[in-house]
């Protein structure tokens, strides 16, 4: 069945290392979102794309985070350099067609930065 | 700017009791409103959504929510709790159009005891 796929599911890295998270949206969905979930802040919108074009990335720390959609089947979120405060679960979600507002979430990438 | 406030970060009920999770919204335009559920180590899943049709919305697993404009509320209810309902629940708001990012509340953890 159709689902959003995220890799890696878990990542442990050391401060200063580059981290890349990947997302494969549901085929045919034209809007892709990146959210970050922490205990303190809850779910925060980092960025989103429509038809591969960035619409809003105001939630991302620009100096270290970058998000791209190289093609319609792949979205990436990169952190360079990573810091301990980036430890969180990062969710990708996609939306499209006639299901207005129904975001389909991946299972998340749990990042731990030591 | 849009926002949602979920009253109570943790709600505990007994199996078979009424579930009531509270959500109030703020929006300058007619909103779309949503409830999502998150089970441990999983992504979010849509429970139900309000998109300006019927004010009483029925969702999956016996949940429903009522949109009350005068109270700016969209509370989630279920007549009889089941152990499997234990999860985190998120209320969310978006603008009145497809492909717009959802703004989530902080979430409410529902515990169900036998």
pLDDT tens per residue across span A24-44:
999 999 899 999 999 988 999
Contact of A61 with A44, CB cutoff 8 Å? no
Of residues B41, B51, B102, nearest to A103 (C-beta):
B102
Alpha carbon of A23 to those of A30, A41, A66, A77, B5: distances in Å?
13, 22, 14, 8, 29
Please name the residues in contact with A10: beta carbons below 8 A apart, sequence gap of 6 or more.
A109, A110, A112
pLDDT at B65: 97
Going by C-alpha positions, the residue among B113, B107, B114 that lies closest to residue B10 is B107
CB contact under 8 A, B41 and A107: yes
CB contact under 8 A, B107 and A56: no
Q: Is residue B96 scored above 70 in pLDDT?
A: no
pLDDT < 50 stretches in chain A: none
CB pairs under 8 A between A and B: 56
Burial of A37 (0-12, 13-18, 19+ CB in 10 A): buried
Q: Which residue of B has its CA nearest to A90?
A: B43
**Predicted confidence band of residue B101 (pLDDT cuts 50, 70, 90):** confident
């Amino acid at each position: 069945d159709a689902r959003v796929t995220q890799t890696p599911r878990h990542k442990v890295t050391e401060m200063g290392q580059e981290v890349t998270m990947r997302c494969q949206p549901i085929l045919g969905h034209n809007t892709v979102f990146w959210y970050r979930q922490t205990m303190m802040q809850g779910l925060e919108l980092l960025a989103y794309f429509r038809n591969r074009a960035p619409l809003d990335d105001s939630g991302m720390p620009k100096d270290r985070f970058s998000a791209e959609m190289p093609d319609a089947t792949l979205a990436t979120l990169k952190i360079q350099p990573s810091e301990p405060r980036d430890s969180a679960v990062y969710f990708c979600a996609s939306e499209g067609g006639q299901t207005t507002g129904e975001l389909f979430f991946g299972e998340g990438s749990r990042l731990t930065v030591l | 700017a849009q926002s949602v406030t979920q009253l109570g970060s943790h709600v505990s009920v007994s199996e078979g009791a009424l579930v009531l999770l509270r959500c109030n919204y703020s929006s300058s335009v007619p909103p779309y409103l949503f409830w999502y559920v998150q089970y441990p180590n999983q992504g979010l899943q849509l429970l139900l959504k309000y998109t300006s049709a019927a004010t009483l919305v029925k969702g999956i697993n016996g949940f429903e929510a009522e949109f009350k404009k005068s109270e700016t509320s969209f509370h989630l209810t279920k007549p009889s709790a089941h152990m499997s309902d234990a999860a985190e629940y998120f209320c969310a708001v978006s603008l009145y159009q497809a492909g717009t990012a959802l703004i989530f509340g902080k979430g409410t953890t529902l515990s169900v005891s036998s």
